[in-house]
């Protein structure tokens, strides 16, 4: 057996039957849900409960991250959008037209995350336009988290359905 066979025996490229894929899916959505606009959700809760310095810290961190996100979107947003569309189209074609399961799994991870990216840019723009502070800022961040969690729940549900379909359709021996 050569190194190529050993490697692919160790790292199963059939994603939906691989435990590591499901662990990655859970970690990605847990992390994405916790860090809205790069701000940990516990900071939002602490600012809401205690105010004072916690609220000032939250406002500063949101201002820094929102300005950074909007600057990146303004300066190179078209390039990023172009590469993202190319990448997602490539994954979609490889996965769902040519039947590559690894590309399917990446598509089912990347597409919803791109939607979360668009929601993040929209939220950052709204925060900047409103000059949101205090309770209004906290509500914006909580709404952003809710939208992220809804996208995540739908994504996990669709991924689980597709994964079950693939595992039933392909079977344990790969075809």
Q: At residue 10, does pLDDT exceed 90?
A: no
Identify the CA nearest to 120 among candidates 38, 60, 61, 24: 38
Q: How confident is the model at residue 13 (pLDDT cuts 50, 70, 90)?
A: low
Q: At residue 9, does pLDDT exceed 70?
A: no
Identify the CA nearest to 44 among candidates 167, 117, 148: 148
Across 75-82, average pLDDT = 96
Report pLDDT for 3: 72
Which range, of 15-24, 33-42, 149-158, averages the lowest pLDDT? 15-24
Q: 109 Cβ partners below 8 Å, 6+ apart?
A: 24, 25, 28, 155, 159
Domain ranges of the chain: 53-169
Report pLDDT for 170: 73
Which range, of 10-14, 47-51, 72-76, averages the lowest pLDDT? 10-14
Give SS3 for 142.
helix
Across 154-162, average pLDDT = 95
Average pLDDT value over all residues in the chain: 90
Report pLDDT for 11: 59
DSSP H or E segment with residue 40: strand 39-40
Across 89-110, average pLDDT = 95
Cβ distance 145 to 41 under 8 Å? yes
């Amino acid at each position: 057996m050569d190194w190529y066979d050993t490697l692919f025996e160790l790292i199963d490229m059939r994603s939906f039957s691989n435990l590591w894929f499901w662990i990655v899916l859970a970690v990605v959505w847990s992390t994405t849900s916790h860090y809205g606009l790069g701000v940990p959700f516990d900071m939002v809760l602490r600012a809401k409960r205690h105010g004072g310095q916690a609220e000032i810290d939250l406002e500063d961190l949101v201002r820094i991250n929102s300005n950074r996100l909007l600057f990146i979107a303004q300066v190179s947003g078209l390039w990023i959008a172009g590469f993202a569309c190319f990448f997602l189209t490539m994954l979609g074609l490889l996965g769902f037209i040519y039947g590559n399961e690894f590309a399917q799994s990446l598509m089912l991870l990347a597409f919803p995350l791109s939607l979360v990216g668009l929601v993040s840019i929209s939220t950052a723009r709204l925060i900047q336009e409103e000059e949101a502070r205090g309770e209004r800022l906290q509500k914006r961040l909580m709404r952003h988290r809710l939208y992220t969690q809804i996208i995540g729940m739908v994504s996990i549900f669709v991924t689980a359905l597709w994964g079950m379909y693939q595992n039933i359709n392909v079977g344990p021996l790969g075809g």
